[in-house]
Structure 1
Amino acid sequence: MFLLAVLPSAQSLKFDLPAQEADEASPFCVSHYVDDETQVVVKVSVGPGIHQKTSLEITDDSEHLNQLWRKDSLSEDRQRATFLTKQAGDVVACFTNVLSNGYRPDPKYTRTVDIDFDIGSETIDYELLAKQEKLKPMEVELRKLEDMVKDILENMEHLQAREERMRNTNESTNERVKYFSTLTMVVLVSLGLWQIFYLKQFFRKKRLID
């Protein structure tokens, strides 16, 4: 069974992932919406789990499900995936937890997964930036605020663009409904007039009316 969960605004999620047999294993997926041309850092680690192999594949939600990152055997050490999105949409992280041969699924065979999405300005290492540009603490904080404001403005522009697309779609749909309703009325009236004319001709032939 394919499960899909949308990450909350905190962009961090922790959950227990049951182990499955290899021939019946199905992915558990989480997703996060990201704008195009946006830097993304995904940090993930898994808890201890004997006789279990946990893999992760990160893709976009395009028609071809382009692979952005893959790790076949996650460990307790925190893994870090960095990539730049090509188009706006959901970034989907799918986990699969497979049991070693000869072992059957059991509630004791689970691994705790900890995944965190850093997006846009959240991916910037401000400590490194401060060393490179010799920034003072106050300047670093101002840089953080500036980057946060940029992210907010980009999100607002994205929401505005989506609103415009939805409004255009609604207006187009309303126009089509109006034309369809008008056409339906014309057809119904025409059929009604034709029925009246046909019945009058029929009754006249039968000499039931003059």
Structure 2
Amino acid sequence: MQFLNLSILLAFFTQLICGLHFDIPANHHSELVCVRDFVQQGQLVVISLFSDGSVGDGQMLNLYVRDTLGNEYRTKRDFAGDLRVAFTASANAAIDICLENMAQIKGAAMSRSVELDIETGSEARDWNLISANNKLKPVELELRKVEELADEIVDELGYLKNREERLRDTNESTNSRVTRFSLLIIIVLGCLGAWQLNYLRNFFKSKNII
């Protein structure tokens, strides 16, 4: 039970960390404000947004969701109020949630206040619906959450291990190539030095210097 309470506490603090609140000034030129988070392939991602103001108030708030590999998951132009975006990540990559606030009235200082919450993996699932469909007790539901969270941690550790192996192989391959290249340079310089000595000796002999 103590482990259960600890997992609930960690999940609560994770939700606090993911929740962001900031203001975006309106500009006449495109100026993106982005938040980046890393996701794994096949992981569910739910982005909850709330902005004050209303459509047609002289500001146009736009949303762009894409990853660092070039995949674009969602584009929403000129929105206000609540917005919820859900998608499944297609690759292990960092996703960028970018917002821009375009001013449509010249000379007016305006801004939009935005609340952003990002949930990934087990946190993004609708546990109330799962509990109702499977008729789970509260303890069973918490155990299910802990189980899925543990599976995600294992998958992430496996990904990090594979990445470390790839980086190690790349490092060893690079080190081997640099070693061979260094040996080649030493051999070439040695041959060049021997040729220069032989050339100078023949030159001095031809001039009867030696």
Instruction: Give the match's secondary structure for 1:132.
Output: helix
Instruction: Give the match's secondary structure for 2:197.
Output: helix
Conservation of the 8 A alpha-carbon contact between 1:31 and 1:93: yes
Q: Deviations over 1:102-143 (max 9, x none)?
A: 41363xx22222212111111111111111111111111111
**1:1-210 to 2 correspondences below 5 Å:** 10-21=17-28, 24-48=29-53, 50-62=57-69, 65-76=70-81, 78-100=82-104, 102-104=105-107, 106=109, 109-209=110-210
Q: Tell me the TM-score normalised to structure 2 length.
A: 0.86
Conservation of the 8 A alpha-carbon contact between 1:45 and 1:74: no
**Aligned residues: CA RMSD:** 1.8
What amino acid maps onto 2:38 in structure 1?
Y
Structure 1 residues 35 and 190 mapped into 2: Cα distance closer, same or farther (>3 Å)? same
Q: Indicate the larger mover: 109-118 or 173-182.
A: 109-118
Q: Which runs of 5+ in 1 are unaligned?
A: 1-8
Q: How far apart are residue 47 of structure 1 and its match?
A: 2.6
Q: Deviations over 1:163-188 (max 9, x none)?
A: 11111111111111101111111111
Name the structure where helix makes up a greater proportion of residues: 2
What amino acid maps onto 1:48 in structure 2?
G
Instruction: Give the match's secondary structure for 2:80.
Output: coil
1:3 equivalent in structure 2: none
Structure 1 residues 168 and 132 mapped into 2: Cα distance closer, same or farther (>3 Å)? same
Percent of residue pairs bearing the same amino acid type: 35
